[in-house]
Amino acid sequence: MFSKQMTVKSAEEIELLRENAVIVSKTLAEVAKHIQPGVKTITLDKIAEEYIRAEGAVPGFKGYRGFPATLCISVNEAVVHGIPGDRVLKNGDIVSIDCGCHKYGYYGDSAYTFPVGEVSGEVMNLLKRTKESLFKGLEMAVAGKRVGDISANVQEYVEGFGYSVVRELVGHGIGQQLHEKPDIPNYGKRGSGAKLQAGLTICIEPMINLGAKSVVQDQDGWTIRTADRMASAHFELTVAVRKDKADILSTFRYIEEVLGSSSI
């Protein structure tokens, strides 16, 4: 279900969301240990499900609107919602992994795009700058700002490098529902959109293409790809809006501890 209203969370609710956010953050780090040429995407999915369940949570995506897996695994030109299967990762691929969990009645959600082996400098720059654009957006996730301030910060940053912003897919509120209001587009006008209130919990998730912004959907009904088949990157964090600065609930720290010097 999709909540039609923005819901400001209590301090207790934010802590429950934080616990879920940490679980997905650690799950992505566990998966990161196994990302290498030769691994099947379904193997990564199984690792994630086992880890989430060991933490006393359940996968947040599995069964959601009929999605069949724990992770969305999207390779190269796939933007989001890729279904894990027998595909084998190859040297030079990039793989976006989106993870959700559910515990105590609340959700966690986070995503990270990983290089597989040796990746071209052009594509590594796309990953680096997409991740940087996420943090540009986070700078605007404070009370009194508007959704459009987040959107514009992301858009202006990535378009400055000649990249394009996917229009059809956006960030979102999160709480007792995986997707709540407000939508958080990665493009927009400063000063526009819903006003951000302290206690609002949102997922900011730039989906940025190396080529044009147009996307198409596969016949599987889920996988979204770039229409020109050029690479796309995706990073996502869950945050609580505060008065002075965003309270980042999920984290890339565990992932980057695994990746070490090769982290983006």
Q: How far apart are CA 88 and CA 65, in angstroms?
A: 26
Residue 116 has pLDDT above 50, yes or no: yes
pLDDT (0 to 100) of residue 183: 97
Residue 2 has pLDDT above 80, yes or no: no
Q: Kindly compute the dihedral angle of the four CA atoms of residues 165, 169, 172, 175, in this order, to the nearest 10 degrees.
A: -140
| pLDDT, tens only, 137-187 | 999 999 999 999 999 999 999 999 999 999 999 999 999 999 999 999 999
Collapsing DSSP to helix, strand or coil, 22 comes out as helix
pLDDT (0 to 100) of residue 264: 86
Strand partners, 173: 180, 202
CATH number at residue 37: 3.90.230.10
Collapsing DSSP to helix, strand or coil, 57 comes out as coil
Average pLDDT of the chain to the nearest whole number:
96
Residue 124 has pLDDT above 90, yes or no: yes
The neighbour count for residue 228, using CB atoms within 10 Å, is 15
Report the run of H or E that residue 133 belongs to, with start and end: helix 121-138
Residue 243 has pLDDT above 60, yes or no: yes
Range 233-249 average pLDDT:
97
Q: Which two tokens stand for residue 84?
A: 């894990």
Direct distance between the N- and C-terminal alpha carbons of the chain, in angstroms, rounded to an integer: 34
Residue 69 has pLDDT above 70, yes or no: yes
The answer to whether 206 and 126 have CB atoms below 8 angstroms apart is: no
Q: How far apart are CA 210 and CA 232, in angstroms?
A: 6
**Rounded to two decimals, what is the model's pTM?**
0.96
pLDDT (0 to 100) of residue 3: 47
The answer to whether 137 and 206 have CB atoms below 8 angstroms apart is: yes
Domain housing 13: 2-262
CA nearest to 182, candidates 228, 219, 149, 153: 149
pLDDT (0 to 100) of residue 4: 56
Q: What is the total count of domains within the chain?
A: 1
Q: Which two tokens stand for residue 163?
A: 């990249």
